[in-house]
Structure 1
Amino acid sequence: MNRLRIGLIATFVAWVTVVGLLVAPPVAAHFQVRQGEYELTVGWRVEPAIVGSLNGLDLEIQRHLANNTTVSVLGAENNLTATLKTGPATVLKALVPQDNRPGWYTFDVIPTVAGAYSVHLVGRLNTTIVNVTVDLDPVAQSSDYQFPVSEPSATDLQNSIAQLNAQLATLQGLLTALITLAVVAVLVGAASLAFAIRTLRAMRRTP
């Protein structure tokens, strides 16, 4: 009887664990920052973030109350702005609430360059001023995940274009030199022919 009871309890615990894993949305590689009584959880909406794939910000805002409980913050899209940055490039994005996830906000973006990204959140939550920059997980090259054939990355294409432009510039310089040489040769030939004709006429006139 005890074995049966233990088996039922173990089965129930395993079932609850599996259901929890299926229901709870993953927040791997998200970072928490505090701004006064507000806690912000920030990350990519899809992990890992890959060049050329639709992604976006995954932002949760919770307010810590005096009774040690938290509540989701609604309507923050009206008071906060987000600036996405990678290298010297920046873009201002408007936050929108996520469907069926109260207190979560996002914006859409397709990363086109691999490397480090960050998001700068600015605004006000009630009387709390928000001004914080959070580093996001680096964006990976799509070739790291492509199979069986990997496509060239944007950087590879840019390098190939730069090489082709350099070769084209060299060919254009060579063509210009050849045209110049051909023109000089024609002029020299014409001058030589004119000189020969004059010499021949002069010889005929001489008694």
Structure 2
Amino acid sequence: MVAMFLSVGMIPTFAHTSTNIENYEIEVGWVTEPPVVGIRNDIAIKIIERGEKEGTFTGITSAFKNLDATIMFGGLDKQIDINSDPRPGYYFSPIIPTKSGTYMLELQGEIRGTDIDVKIPIEDVESTAVLDFPATSLYDNNVGALEHSLKNLKEDIALIKSNSKGKYTDDSESPLIFSILAISLSVSAIFIGILSMIKRT
């Protein structure tokens, strides 16, 4: 049932942003809200022309024939491909947002002789915390990262001790490398101990 609701042709409208350019109204937003980092989503675009009678409008077909769309985040931008929805005037573009924060859609070109040059903000992308269950904590993330580093350091030290071929083959460098890894191992262990003490308090 949910899959059908989110399928192409059934684009819901939540926190979408609208702008008017002469006779056209352009509305932009996410298909699935809230948008979450790392989860596939689609940018939904609706381009219509309002009718004389209130509540009526005409969807603009082939709107992107001479119109380019660019997704922007911070100082980064990427031109995106636009797909047509079965309903006239509705378009979408698949995307996997990789950072939380505000995204912007820039539209440049023309629609049926009307020049278009506009930047439209889209609802902020959120971290996975909004959907996580059970919720993860900063403590869990830090400990997990440190434990992973400790595991890698232990493996490297074991390789040095066993004089594993293909890694650290220069015997003159092995004592120095061993010392550095041993120090790193000790520091990581201390950090894990501190974090454990903080969690218990």
| TM-score range for the pair, normalised by the shorter chain length | 0.5 to 0.7
The equivalent of 2:59 in structure 1 is: 72
Identity over the aligned pairs, expressed in percent? Answer: 28
For 2:59 and 2:115, the matched residues in 1 are separated by: 18
For 2:70 and 2:133, the matched residues in 1 are separated by: 33
Aligned residues: 147
The alpha-carbon deviation at position 177 of structure 1 amounts to 11
For 2:137 and 2:63, the matched residues in 1 are separated by: 40
The equivalent of 1:145 in structure 2 is: 131
What value does the CA root-mean-square deviation take over the aligned residues? 3.6
Contact 2:27 2:46 in 1 (8 A): yes
Confirm or deny that 1:48 pairs with 2:26.
no
What TM-score do the two structures reach when normalised by structure 2? 0.61
The alpha-carbon deviation at position 64 of structure 1 amounts to 3.0
Confirm or deny that 1:119 pairs with 2:120.
no
The alpha-carbon deviation at position 148 of structure 1 amounts to 2.3
Secondary structure at the residue paired with 1:39? strand
For 1:101 and 1:178, the matched residues in 2 are separated by: 66
Confirm or deny that 1:94 pairs with 2:81.
yes
What TM-score do the two structures reach when normalised by structure 1? 0.59
For 2:179 and 2:50, the matched residues in 1 are separated by: 77
In the alignment, structure 1 segments of 5+ residues that lack a partner are: 1-23, 180-207
Secondary structure at the residue paired with 1:52? coil
In the alignment, structure 2 segments of 5+ residues that lack a partner are: 1-9, 154-172, 181-201
For 1:50 and 1:101, the matched residues in 2 are separated by: 26
The alpha-carbon deviation at position 133 of structure 1 amounts to 0.3
Contact 1:119 1:135 in 2 (8 A): yes
**CA displacement, residues 169-206 of structure 1 (integer Å, 9 cap, x when unaligned):** xxx9x937979xxxxxxxxxxxxxxxxxxxxxxxxxxx
For 1:36 and 1:122, the matched residues in 2 are separated by: 15
The equivalent of 2:192 in structure 1 is: none
> Which of the residues 15, 28, 43 maps onto 2:14?
28
Secondary structure at the residue paired with 1:175? helix
Contact 1:114 1:139 in 2 (8 A): yes
Contact 2:11 2:44 in 1 (8 A): no
Secondary structure at the residue paired with 2:39? coil
* One-letter identity of the residue aligned with 1:145: L
Contact 1:37 1:65 in 2 (8 A): no
Greater helix proportion: 1
The alpha-carbon deviation at position 26 of structure 1 amounts to 2.8
* Runs of 4 or more above 6 Å deviation: 176-179
> Which of the residues 32, 43, 58 maps onto 2:44?
58
